[in-house]
Amino acid sequence: MATKIIGKVSATEKSPSTVDDFYFWTDKKTILSPFDVVKVHHVKNEKGKNSITYGVVEEIFHITDATSHITSYLSSDFGEVEDKGNMYRLGMNYVKAKVVCNTDNIYTPVLDGQQVETCDEDDVLTALGLKNPKNPVVCGYLKMYQEPNQIEIPISVNSHFLIGPEGAHLNISGISGLAAKTSYAMFLLKNIQQKFLNKDFEEREDKNQSVAFIFFNVKGRDLLALNEPNEKLPDGDKRIYKNMGWDTAPFKNVKFYYPFSSNKNVENVQSYVETEHVRKQIDLNEAFKYKYIYEQDRDNLDLLLANEDDSTGTLDSIVNLVLNNQGNFGQIQTWTKFLDEIQNRMEAKSTDNGKDAILPTSWRKFKRVITKAIGNDVFSGRAIVEANNEVRLNEAVKQIKKNEVMVIDVARLDEDTQSFVFGDVARAVYDLKLGGDEEKLCRKREDIPGKIIIFVDELNKYASTDVPKKSPILRQLLDIAERGRSLGIILFSAEQFKSAIHDRVKGNCATHAYGRTNAIEISKADYRFIPKVYQNMMTRLEQGEYIIQNPVFRSLINIKFPRPTYKQL
């Protein structure tokens, strides 16, 4: 696309050009939008060479020569709305643009009267620092200017600033449903898998890198057909994929893990997906049923207390007592017997003599907290039957393969059980990446994926400001956010309200994606650094549209993305 002169720089006494921003006027008929990129030819340097300063449009104003609103009113024949008026008003638009770069790193202010032009695709990529990115992974596309000058540009980000080693972790926020948070996360993750599956990938500098994925399905049936093509993909989205040169295949190497159920009529799973769909996945050896066995999984009892405020440490003391096999707990082998022993403790006067005795009231609270979760079929009294595709999640995670996708369905579980499953998986990933010799892990170190990306929606359940500070799951998430990058554990998370998430979790995310949100949310401190006009745009963003912040971007960018290429049940 050819560039077009649209105005001139205007530096006034009250609004001078600075190293950070400049103003320019345009014709009233020129249509620009926030996030559009413009360029100004800088004065010649000492070598007699022109440089170019690029700016991103922040605010757009319209003014006339009227000194007040009443002047404008009088000029329309004293308020005649149908009348064209008895005076011709001089008017124009003027624009505030934020300086994002100069081609020769010259940051003296642009001069008054310099022509301002639109940009072509090469200019836009140069301005935003996205030209020829290293280790590229697709994150969306830019749509800029209006017809007939409109351009669409595919945008790729340096994956080293998204999934390490330079930067890591992604946080996505926005209103439920309207922001399409899960769809955008899957769009990114699908492109990451495609990058690592590319046949030419091993010949590049990242040849020793590999990746695997763990997704939690927390709502309905969102992620339970990731490996099936989207036959209902609209033609408009097909055109976008084709024009951008993007692959339309669904995820590959996907395995689904459903909570175990004793009900054989639903294929022994707890899920919102149709039984026929689960049966088909089981027949293809793509679906498995996970459950927890007391003898092997009691070490994670503390995870059931993640949402309980234990300021006195009493609940923690009970967990330690159980794990140390004190009293009759050393002979227990099932969850049922475990609950029976707790009942016995409730009926006794106390657990031990002395000042450290645990009172029956504490045992009653402990039972109240864990009974609902342990009453679920996923806490099974029966051993794992591999012939029925039954597994322990902990073991399945530790056997995850390169480029494999694990989808763990927790949608039908109660909140405490969901927390238990998430915490169990997070610990298993940590054990896999951090500790254990090859004999213990039953696999060679070189077979373990270099990076494991965990995607979890509704992050507020595990890392909100309301979660107890001693929550073991919160501690796990903080550890992943702060140390995960160096270990190859990457967190992709989503929630409705970013302001409600723990500061250390969101503060360690290198990339932030802002979808449509409400005015109350954008008034919070998390959005203070964002220009006011961009904040207002966040309340009007459409589905498939995000404002992205990443260390490699010289400015916030407004990207779009098409609908997912996988089947949505």
pLDDT at 355: 47
Q: Which pTM was predicted?
A: 0.90
Closest by CA position to 563, among listed 545, 536, 537, 540: 545
The pairing of beta strand 390-391 with beta strand 287-290? parallel
Looking only at Cα atoms, what is the longest distance across the chain? 98
The residues, ordered by sequence, that sit 6+ positions from 546 with a Cβ below 8 Å of its Cβ are 140, 172, 174, 179, 184, 513, 514, 515, 558, 559, 560, 561
What is the spatial distance between Cα 4 and Cα 13, in angstroms, rounded to a whole number? 28
Q: Are 64 and 142 in contact (CB under 8 A)?
A: no
pLDDT at 418: 92
pLDDT at 29: 84
pLDDT at 213: 98
Q: Which neighbouring-strand residues pair with 102?
A: 53
The residues, ordered by sequence, that sit 6+ positions from 163 with a Cβ below 8 Å of its Cβ are 192, 211, 451, 453, 490
Neighbours of 195 (CB within 10 A): 19
The residues, ordered by sequence, that sit 6+ positions from 224 with a Cβ below 8 Å of its Cβ are 217, 256, 271, 273, 277, 407, 409, 569
| Cβ density class 524-544: b for 16+ within 10 Å, e for less | eebbeebbeebbebbeebebb
pLDDT at 203: 45
pLDDT at 46: 63
Task: Read off the tokens for 157.
Answer: 């980000």
pLDDT at 48: 60
pLDDT at 356: 52
The residues, ordered by sequence, that sit 6+ positions from 231 with a Cβ below 8 Å of its Cβ are 567
Q: Which residues of the chain have pLDDT under 70?
A: 1, 44-48, 83-87, 199-208, 349-356, 436-443
What is the spatial distance between Cα 513 and Cα 215, in angstroms, rounded to a whole number? 18
pLDDT at 378: 93
What is the spatial distance between Cα 325 and Cα 183, in angstroms, rounded to a whole number? 46
* Phi/psi-derived region of residue 209, left when phi > 0, alpha when psi is between -120 and 50, beta in every other case: beta
